[in-house]
């Protein structure tokens, strides 16, 4: 079972950039599909981005397309979320997940989350 630890969150002004990281334990990192989800106060957790295993195909929520990018470094057992042109609506706790496939990320393993606050 994979263990996930998110980092890189913080306070940033609108229009700024931030890069989140999620480090995984073990030697089987390349066999997992990976994703990022977020949860704002009073709202349900929502999908942000995902990246598949083998082919590293990427998928994004419509609200973040063109601004937020997911990538993975299998040698470092790390998945990243590069966030640009941040908006106050991006304020949330961000979580990474791992599963056998992109379609199963919502029921896979989760990290503890890292908080992102975007000021006006």
What digits encode the pLDDT tens for the residues 55-108?
Answer: 999 999 999 999 999 999 999 999 999 999 999 999 999 999 999 999 999 998
Residue 1's pLDDT band, with cuts at 50, 70 and 90, is confident
Judged by DSSP in three states, 29 sits in helix
Please, are residues 24 and 8 in contact by the beta-carbon 8 Å criterion?
A: no
Distance of CA 91 to the CA centre of its chain: 13
- Provide the token pair at 84: 């640009």
Task: Give the pLDDT score at 2.
Answer: 87
Q: Would you give the DSSP letter of residue 84? A: -
- The CA distance from 107 to 113, in Å, is 16
Among candidates 62, 72, 10, which has minimal Cα distance to 35?
72
**pLDDT for 28:** 84
């Amino acid at each position: 079972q994979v263990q996930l630890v998110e980092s890189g969150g913080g306070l940033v002004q609108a229009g700024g950039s931030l890069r989140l990281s999620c480090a995984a334990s073990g030697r089987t990192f390349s066999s997992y599909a990976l994703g990022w989800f977020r949860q704002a106060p009073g709202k349900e957790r929502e999908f942000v981005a995902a990246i598949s295993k083998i082919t590293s195909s990427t998928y994004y929520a419509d609200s973040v397309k063109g601004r937020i990018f997911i990538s993975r470094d299998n040698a470092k057992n790390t998945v990243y979320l590069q966030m640009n042109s941040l908006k106050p609506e991006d304020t949330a706790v961000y979580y990474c997940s791992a599963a056998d496939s992109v379609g199963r990320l919502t029921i896979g393993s989760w990290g503890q989350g890292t908080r992102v606050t975007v000021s006006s």
